[in-house]
A and B are shown apart, each in its own frame.
Chain A
Amino acid sequence: MAGAKEIRTKIKSIKSTQKITKAMEMVAASKMRKAQERMRAARPYATKIRNVISHLAHAHTEYRSPGLVEREIKRVGLIVVSTDRGLCGGLNTNLFKAAIVAMQQWRNQGIEIDVCTIGTKAFQFFRRLKGNIVAHVSHLGDAPRFEDVLGPVKVMADAFAEGRVDAIHLVYNEFVNTMSQKPKIEQLVPVTAEVKESAPVHRWDYIYEPDPKDLIELLLRRYGESVVYQALVENVACEMASRMVAMKSATDNAGALIDELQLIYNKARQASITQELAEIVGGAAAV
């Protein structure tokens, strides 16, 4: 019954794999709920600061920030938000694919690209492919803090302020629902027409306390940070959802495999019993 024994060991090992994937699925599900809550909680700030920026774009301010004016693009900064860990289906792959498509377009127009990576997966990917990585953070965990995005955003914002890059784009996964996440590329600065929207056109300006330049720059910086933070939280939610789905199908697959193997095992077992019986009967007949 050697064959049967082998099958039995195999079934056992698949069962333990199934246990692991099942556990991962449940962990991801509970983490996803929390991540979604965080995503929702971060949303008001992002919306509000977007409103303020849109007001600002319509004000006839005495100081025009470079962050509000489109300029000729020679070099773009790309912030890529990815996960730290794998086992989450095609989430990162799809994201990188979207990034590559955009990068190729820029390259064709002769635009250089600086990459800033958030999360190990993006870092590994762009390093392997010799992308020009200027900043990197990873291991932010499942509950990223606002402070975590300050570093990479500052590197990029400084590059923009000094004119080393002429636009900053952000690539991340948008959380549509549990079953679907969509890679998204968004222009951070200069602030695009979408954010500016329509508003009354009569002339007005703010009263500034103390100084318009500082305030507007600070506001734009906060805007950048909040968008990146929002992307980061959203990406965590995507990661968990994607992992949950991937692990669920892994568990289902393991189940199907076990069923199949069980069938084969039963057949093998029966065959060996039949054979033994035949041998006994044959032996008895011979005597």
Chain B
Amino acid sequence: MAMTLHVDIVSAEKELFSGPVEMVTAPGELGELGILPRHSQLLTRLKPGQVRVRLQGGDEQLFYVSGGLLEVQPNLVTILSDTAERAKDLDEAAALSAKQRAEQVIADSRSEFEFARAKVELAEAIAQLQTIAKMRKQRKSS
């Protein structure tokens, strides 16, 4: 029987494939990679493209990845696929808007974080919740 290596293909939102295969082919950034068992450790970025796995017995399965990372350990391959194509400026824009949103609404001057007030507020809220729980218990027992 041919040697196998374990392959996990995951994207942030779900698991795509997990199991033993004979060979896996992935679109590395510097070119197509074919990985067989006992490959040496490797870390690379993936281009958008197809990942092919050859299962035991010769059947093939295809997955589409839109970029991501590939890690190879001698008998384990992990493909961390990105969910969507990621442009650098997209990250930048998202970061900027997150910052802006924070700044927009904070008009008041920044001073020390008021621990005392935070504690009082939380204590009040918790007391309210406890009271409700207590009342409920009383009602049930009566």
B25-74 contacts to A (CB < 8 Å): 28-30, 40-45, 69, 71, 73
A97→B106 contact, CB < 8 A: no
A44→B10 contact, CB < 8 A: yes
User: Given contacts A45-B80, A129-B113, A226-B12, is CB(A205)–CB(B41) below 8 Å?
Assistant: yes
Contact of B122 among A96, A132, A252 (CB under 8 A): A96
The 8 A CB mask of A258-271 against B (1 = contact, 0 = none) is: 00000000000000
Contact of B110 among A132, A147, A210, A212 (CB under 8 A): A132
A135→B129 contact, CB < 8 A: no
B102→A146 contact, CB < 8 A: no
Nearest A-chain residue to B14, judged by Cβ: A41
How far, in whole Å, are A170 and B78 apart by their CA atoms in the complex? 26
A27 at the interface (CB under 8 A from B): no
The segment from A7-15, A149-157, A160-168 found at the interface with B is: A149-157
Number of residues from A at the complex interface, CB < 8 A: 70
Which residues of the other chain, B, contact A125 by a CB distance below 8 angstroms?
118, 121
B13→A42 contact, CB < 8 A: yes
Which residues of the other chain, B, contact A51 by a CB distance below 8 angstroms?
78
Centre residue among A158, A209, A219 by max chain B CB count within 10 A: A209
Which residues of the other chain, B, contact A216 by a CB distance below 8 angstroms?
43
B83→A93 contact, CB < 8 A: no
B80→A52 contact, CB < 8 A: yes
A205 to chain B, nearest CB (A): 7
The segment from A66-74, A99-107, A277-285 found at the interface with B is: A99-107
Contact of B12 among A45, A136, A138 (CB under 8 A): A45
B81-139 contacts to A (CB < 8 Å): 83-84, 90-92, 94-99, 101-102, 105-106, 108, 110-115, 117-119, 121-122, 125-126, 129, 136, 139
For the A-B complex with A132-B110, A150-B91, A207-B41 known, give 19 more contacts whose Cβ atoms are closer than 8 Å: A41-B15, A48-B8, A93-B126, A97-B122, A97-B126, A100-B122, A129-B114, A129-B117, A129-B118, A134-B102, A136-B101, A138-B101, A151-B96, A154-B95, A155-B98, A206-B43, A208-B43, A209-B29, A210-B30
